[in-house]
Chain A
Amino acid sequence: MKSAVVVFPGSNRDGDMIAALELISGQRPISIWHAETSLPKLDLIVLPGGFSYGDYLRTGAIAARSPVMRAVADAAAAGVPVLGVCNGFQILCEAGLLPGILMRNARLSFICRDVNLRVETADSAFTRAYRKGEVFATPMAHGEGNYRVDDETLKRLKGEDRVAFRYVDEQGRTTDAANANGSIDSIAGVLSKKRNVLGLMPHPENAVEPAQGGIGGRKLFEGILGKVLA
């Protein structure tokens, strides 16, 4: 199996993602510079967190137009799993690979804390190691994670079982307090129509070892890396 982490100018959780993928799979993923125009044959592509291009226009807007993104879109169309975390999720939305956009957090400030996520579907390569309804803790760290889509798209996402995660409290209930960034319908992560592209705001790559304070994110990697190994 072969996985890759795409590095944009301003990516800053690429190292975290590489370490997590290596820890779970035992194999070090390759780094792909944003200026590349073609990709090797890959089993998983990850767009990591960070502040690509300083987030100076709209988050992810400039990175979405990087040369490498055409190749990423082609790979996604061909069914290669693509994971976008935080800034990676923002880039996937800006690139049109996922619906919706990420706005400033409802309370405007950057938030770094553990959040509880509820797994809304186990029907994807990324979520298959979880049980539907399972709640796990993982950190978030962003200023612009307030997910927004229009009503029609929201209805479609729900109808097609494409909401992957929601922000919930420890008991697994969606509440205003638990929905720290104010996302519509408490949505933390969504899947593409073909279910091979996942974007989420929190950082499962920072929750894979007990020393990090929890291993809630581990099953996401076990699922996707197990799938491609099989």
Chain B
Amino acid sequence: MNAPVAITPALVAEHGLKPDEYERILKLIGREPTITELGIFSAMWNEHCSYKSSKRWLRTLPTKGARVIYGPGENAGAVDIGDGQAVIFKMESHNHPSYIEPYQGAATGVGGILRDVFTMGARPIAAMNALFFGTPEHPKTRHLVSGVVGGVGGYGNSFGVPTVAGSVLFDKRYNGNILVNAFAAGIADKNAIFTSQAEGVGRPVVYLGSKTGRDGIHGATMASAAFGGADAEEKRPTVQVGDPFSEKLLLEACLELMASGAVIAIQDMGAAGLTSSAVEMGAKGDLGILLELDKVPTRETGMTAYEMMLSESQERMLMVLDPAREKDAEAIFRKWGLDFSVIGRTTDDLRFRLVHNGVEVANLPIKELGDQAPEYDRPRTEPVAPAPLDRTSVPEPADYGAALVSLIGSPNMSSRRYVWEQYDHLVQGNTIQRPGGDAAVVRLPGTSKALAFTTDVTPRYCAADPFEGGKQAIAEAWRNLTAVGALPLAVTDNLNFGNPERPEVMGQFAAAIQGIGEACRVLDFPVVSGNVSLYNETDGASIPPTPTIGGVGLLQDASAMATIAFKAEGEAILVIGKAGVHLGRSAYLAELLGRDEGAPPPVDLRAEKANGDFVRSLIAAKRITACHDVSDGGIAIALAEMALSGNIGVAINLALSADRLAWLFGEDQARYVVTAPQESVAAITGDAAASGIPVSVIGRTGGAELTCTGTFAVPLAKLRSAHENWFPDYMARPA
């Protein structure tokens, strides 16, 4: 059964390797690879693991900062939050598996990102997810929503991490290629962060966790290919199955083992399983690795070396242990009922060697497997700047109130309560701001501090102008953290794009990265981890550029946290930032008129920073009573959400003389709506004026309606039912 397999051009192509990439392999090792070696190269050199198309651009991102402990390159980014603690976080996509098998695809996406975090020694304290589906009318959408939401909840709820925030977007351009982006964050002792860098020759390489099966073989290769029409069904066997119970045991066992001092290096087996974890540990530590595959715990008999090396069975870890502590380590794993097997050792020959049934089935240069992966500067075409919106082509609605009700009850603006109530967002007992606000907030027990979390991106902006869209995704994440009172610390970026071999897609990618980089630099908001997902296209149609941003912020004093809810009747409502004039690419145009036109709102990063820093100082000093950032749907939607959240009405008593449609629904950036007691208004507007911050008093809270003098009056009850009912009604509608 282990007769040598002939390496034909067809076999090479099936492994996703291009002819010139195969030539590179031949040159590197000076002979034809074995089938196992071919599989290893295929796993290490696919787009998902090697970042061969994106690396050149990723290098341009700002990744350093005074608080950054580990930037990109580790399992997750690590940021200093004071008191000897670090927050460790990352976001990663699980797009193709979730389209093929939504429940397990999403569940294992959550499992994978949690492992990335606890592999570094952090106990996960928060999870988020950003989900992008096709139109609600598309025949697959409801099934996909139901499966993905079920899978995210099924895994996180059982594991015991609160899923505190996220987003759900519907757009026809995701009809054939949904996106599932999962985020996790954990807390570690700053001096006890673990990495994958092995140290010392002759040390045991230990396999921990669940057994290896034949599931997920070539998952990473699949994630690096575009879909053709009928493929999705055939690819089902490459999707892994998640077991959150095993993962919970693995978490507890790993943290206990790390605390014991026995762990030298640790790496989870994610994409490309045993292959990439072992290679990474050796290559980072300037060491070779020898694995005896007969010792790998397997779920089935007769597994080949090839299958073991490429399996993506979940809930597995690889560690290099202190030999003196091997027995203690084994006892800890036995206590938790997990497999523990010494499967190899570190060597001084810088080779990656595999022995199976007494035969050496692979012998490759370990550093070159990663370092010598191809890198491309793919051709790209510059995105074409969109024509500005012809403002005269957008008439005022006949009934502003009806327009507001339709907008807040539209698929993309309606409440996501249906989704987040299926996620346990309270486990661990530290969630102090629940889903539904600008950012979720989780307190840190034993301190006065809390962390804020948000995910953001506006794909309709990115599609029109990837550079401004990239800037805006960062700016909105920064603003959402600011709006709860947090100091934005750092981001993780999950870059979902189409096929990089298309110059227009590569052009979008490069422009979005440049926009992200510029915004991160001005806002002092470095990128500390991330993931690139390319080839998101089906039958030649690419998704819109979707650089999802996961932002993390720090509140020094959790008691000063702000929320969006109006707190009392008769308070003043202020807008920080300029009056809205920009309707291009707005939710109003897209959701109500079905028009995807114009340029997205430009982001003035200096104004963003100045306005945000001012708002944060107001929150920290407890001078304002509610705060909401202005984004999709403009001031009108922001006010409606604040009113619904606090169940207190609002009266805008400003004479809207100029362009009242744009004033209400424009999505101009760098803006916040805040409330304050009437007696504080003069001081706040005075301070704003002194700092050159635009501010206007637009009305007062009170009553049970949202009214705007001379324009509309809508009962809150009507807004609430439109807002709350769309999602459950949609999911309950007969097929």
CA distance A203 to B428 in the complex (A): 11
A172 → B minimal CB distance (Å): 19
- Closest beta carbon of chain B to A32's beta carbon, Å: 14
Q: In the complex, which residue of chain A has the Cβ closest to the Cβ of B249?
A: A9
Which of B150, B337, B426, B434 contacts A9, CB < 8 Å? B337
Judge whether B429 and A141 touch: CB under 8 Å: no
Distance of A188 from chain B, by nearest CB (Å):
17
Whole-angstrom distance between the alpha carbons of A143 and B421 in the complex? 11
Contact B427 A53 (CB under 8 A): no
Query: Within A166-193, which residues are at the interface with B (CB < 8 Å)?
Result: none
Q: Quick one: which of A12, A109, A112 contacts B160, CB cutoff 8 A?
A: A12
- List residues of chain B with CB within 8 A of the CB of A20: 429
With A19-B445, A213-B434 in contact, do A112 and B429 touch (Cβ < 8 Å)? Answer: no
Flag the segment in B196-204, B240-248, B674-682 that touches A: B240-248
B426/A206 in contact, CB under 8 A: yes
Q: How many whole Å from A132's CB to the nearest CB in chain B?
A: 28
Q: Digitize A1-40: 1 where CB-to-B-CB distance is under 8 Å, 0 elsewhere.
A: 0000000011011011001100000000000000000000
Would you call A12 and B422 a contact (CB within 8 A)?
A: no
- The reply to whether the CB of A161 lies closer than 8 angstroms to some CB of chain B is no
Among B112-120, B151-159, B590-598, the stretch that binds chain A is: B151-159
Asked if residues A206 and B244 are in contact (CB atoms below 8 Å), the reply is no
CA distance A12 to B429 in the complex (A): 11
- B432 on interface, CB distance cutoff 8 Å: yes
Q: How many Å lie between the Cα of A10 and that of B431 in the bound state? A: 21
Q: How far is the CB of A139 from chain B (nearest CB, A)?
A: 5
Most buried by B among A12, A205, A206: A12
Q: Is the CB of B427 within 8 A of A110?
A: no
Q: Please give, as numbers and ranges, the residues of chain A lying within 8 Å of B558 by CB-CB distance.
A: 211
A53 touches B245 (CB 8 A): yes
For residue A85, give the distance in angstroms from its CB to the closest CB of chain B. Answer: 12
Q: How far is the CA of A141 from the CA of B431 in the complex (A)?
A: 13
Which residues of chain B are within 8 angstroms of A41 by Cβ–Cβ distance? none
Interface 0/1 of B408-441, CB less than 8 Å to A? 0000000000001111111111011010000000
Interchain CB contact under 8 A, A16 and B432? no
Give the docked Cα–Cα distance between A20 and B428 (Å): 11
Q: A16-B429, A211-B443 are in contact. Are A112 and B424 (CB under 8 A)?
A: yes
When A12-B160, A112-B425, A203-B426 are in contact, do A51 and B153 touch as well, CB less than 8 Å?
A: no
Give chain B interface residues in 502-532, CB to chain A under 8 Å.
none
Residues 45-83 of chain A: 1 if any B CB is under 8 Å from the residue's CB, otherwise 0?
A: 000011101111000000000000000000000000000
A105-118 vs B, Cβ < 8 Å mask (1 yes, 0 no): 00001111100000
> Could you tell me if A9 and B160 are in contact, using CB atoms closer than 8 angstroms?
no
A9-B245 in contact (CB<8A): yes
Query: Chain B nearest CB: distance from A150 CB in Å?
Result: 30
Contacts of B422 in A (CB 8 A): 109-112
A143 to B150, CA, bound (A): 11
Which residues in A have their C-beta under 8 angstroms from that of B428? 13, 15-16
Pairwise interchain contact A141-B427, C-beta atoms closer than 8 A = yes
A54 contacts B244, CB within 8 Å? yes
CB pair B336 A9 closer than 8 Å = yes
Given contacts A112-B421, A113-B421, contact A205 B429 (CB under 8 A): yes
Q: Is the CB of B429 within 8 A of A19?
A: yes
B421 in contact with A13 (CB, 8 Å): no
Cβ-closest chain A residue relative to B246: A54
Bound CA–CA A50/B336 (angstroms): 16
Q: Does A153 reach chain B (CB closer than 8 Å)?
A: no
CB distance from A9 to the nearest CB of B (A): 6
Most interface-central of B245, B443, B445 (chain A CB within 10 A)? B245
- B244:A51 contact, CB within 8 angstroms: yes
Q: For the complex, give the distance between the alpha carbons of A101 and B434 in Å.
A: 30
Inter-chain CA distance A20–B445, complex, in Å, is: 12
B245 close to A110 (CB less than 8 A): no
Residues of A within 8 A of B432 (CB): 211-213
- The interface size bin for chain A is 20 to 34
Task: Please name the residue on chain A nearest to B251 by beta carbon.
Answer: A12
B429 touching A110, Cβ below 8 Å = no
Contacts A9-B336, A15-B429 given; indicate if A141 touches B244 (C-beta within 8 A).
no
Q: For the complex, what is the distance from the CA of A53 to the CA of B158, rounded to whole Å?
A: 10
Residue of chain A at shortest CB distance from B163: A112
Q: Which residues of A contact B559 (CB under 8 A)?
A: 211
State whether A51 touches B245 (Cβ < 8 A): yes
Kindly provide the distance from the CB of A214 to the nearest chain B CB, expressed in whole angstroms: 11
Task: Give B235-257 as 1s and 0s: 1 = Cβ < 8 Å from A's Cβ atoms.
Answer: 00000000111101100000000
Contacts of A54 in B (CB 8 A): 158, 243-246
List B contacts of A51 (CB < 8 A).
Answer: 157-158, 160, 244-245, 248
User: Closest B-chain residue to A139, C-beta based?
Assistant: B426
Closest Cβ of chain A to B647, distance in Å, is 12
Which residues from 138 to 160 on chain A have a C-beta closer than 8 Å to any C-beta of chain B?
Answer: 139, 141, 143
Report which residue of B426, B428, B445, B558 has the largest number of chain A beta carbons within 10 angstroms of its beta carbon: B426
Find out whether the CB atom of A112 lies under 8 angstroms from the CB atom of B423.
Answer: yes
Question: Roughly how many angstroms separate A213 CA and B443 CA in the complex, as a whole number?
Answer: 13
Contact in complex: B157, A10 (CB < 8 Å): no
Q: Mark B484-496, 1 if CB is under 8 A from A, else 0.
A: 0000000000000
Residue of B nearest to A33 (CB): B335
Minimal Cβ-Cβ distance residue in B for A12: B160
The smallest beta-carbon distance between A221 and chain B, in angstroms, is 13
The listed residue (B157, B426, B434, B443) touching A110 by CB distance below 8 A is B157
In A195-219, which residues have CB < 8 Å from any B CB? Answer: 203, 205-206, 211-213
Question: How many Å from the CB of A160 to the closest CB on chain B?
Answer: 33
* Shortest Cβ distance from residue B443 to the other chain A in the assembled complex, whole angstroms: 6
CB-CB nearest in chain A for B420 = A112
Query: What is the CA–CA distance of A183 and B245 in the complex, to the nearest angstrom?
Result: 27
Considering only CB atoms, which chain B residue lies closest to A141 in the complex? B424
* CB neighbours of A16 from chain B (8 A): 427-429
In the assembly, what is the distance between CA of A144 and CA of B235, in Å? 33
Given A10-B248, A12-B427, A16-B428; A141-B445 close (CB under 8 Å) = no
| A10 and chain B: residue at smallest CB distance | B245
- Among B158, B423, B559, chain A packs the most CB atoms within 10 A around the CB of B158
Residue of A nearest to B561 (CB): A211
B400 to chain A, nearest CB (A): 32
In contact, A12 and B248 (Cβ under 8 angstroms): yes
- Of residues 535 through 566 on chain B, the ones whose CB sits less than 8 Å from some CB of chain A are 558-559
Q: Which residue of A lies closest to B123 (CB)?
A: A15
Task: State the Cβ distance, A146 to closest chain B Cβ, in Å.
Answer: 16
User: Which of the residues B150, B243, B429 comes within 8 Å of A212, measured between beta carbons?
Assistant: B429
CA distance A170 to B92 in the complex (A): 41
Q: Residue on A with the closest CB to B248?
A: A10
**Within 8 Å CB of B423, what residues of A?**
110, 112
A residues near B (Cβ < 8 Å) are: 9-10, 12-13, 15-16, 19-20, 49-51, 53-56, 109-113, 139, 141, 143, 203, 205-206, 211-213
Chain B interfacial positions (CB closer than 8 Å to A): 150, 153-154, 157-160, 243-246, 248-249, 336-337, 420-429, 431-432, 434, 443, 445, 558-559
A-B pairs, top 7 by smallest CB distance, nearest first, are A12-B160, A54-B245, A16-B429, A51-B158, A141-B424, A211-B432, A112-B424
Q: List, sorted by A's number, 21 A–B pairs whose CB atoms are closer than 8 Å.
A: A13-B160, A13-B427, A13-B429, A15-B428, A51-B244, A51-B245, A53-B245, A54-B245, A110-B154, A110-B157, A110-B422, A111-B422, A112-B157, A112-B423, A113-B421, A139-B426, A141-B427, A203-B426, A205-B429, A206-B426, A206-B429
